[in-house]
């Protein structure tokens, strides 16, 4: 994991978005597994998490 930035030096936004998005989706799915949500509701939460991860990555990569 520590050598990922060295492998992709020109794409910090995309790499950050990928890592944040994956972590947030895993967290959402783990935290809502006991809740009575429909599959579409879980998918919507995952999609919103990916969008939020994109926004966070964009803010973090501001110069």
pLDDT digits (tens, 9 = 90+) for 1-60: 556 556 656 668 888 999 999 999 999 999 999 989 999 999 999 999 999 999 999 998
Write the burial class of residue 63 (CB in 10 Å: 0-12 exposed, 13-18 middle, 19+ buried).
exposed
The pTM score is 0.78
Site of tokens 């944040």: 20
> For residue 7, what pLDDT is reported?
65
- Cα separation, 48 vs 61, in Å, equals 20
């Amino acid at each position: 994991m520590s050598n990922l930035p060295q492998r992709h030096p020109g794409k910090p936004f995309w790499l950050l978005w990928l890592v944040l998005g994956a972590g947030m989706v895993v967290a959402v799915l783990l935290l809502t597994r006991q809740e009575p949500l429909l599959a579409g509701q879980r998918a919507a939460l995952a999609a919103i998490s990916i969008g939020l991860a994109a926004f966070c990555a964009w803010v973090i990569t501001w110069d």
